[in-house]
Structure 1
Amino acid sequence: MIRFALVTLAMTTSAQADHELDRRDIVAGRALYDEACAACHGADLEGQPDWRTPDEDGILPAPPHDATGHTWHHDNLLLFEYTKLGGKAALAARGIEDFNSGMPAFGDALTDDEIWDILAYIRSTWPPREQASQASRNRPH
Structure 2
Amino acid sequence: MRQTEYFLAACDPKTLTVGQLMQDAVTRCTPRTDASTIAHLMTHRNFGSLPVVEEDGTLVGIVSEYDLLQAMIEGRDLRKILATEIMSAQPVTVTEEQTLVQVADLFQDRYLARVPVVRNKKLVGILARRDLLFGYTKALQHWS
Bigger proportion of residues as helix: 1
Question: What range describes the TM-score normalised by the shorter chain of this pair?
Answer: under 0.3
Per the normalisation by structure 2, the TM-score is 0.27
* Greater Rg by CA: 2
Bigger proportion of residues as strand: 2
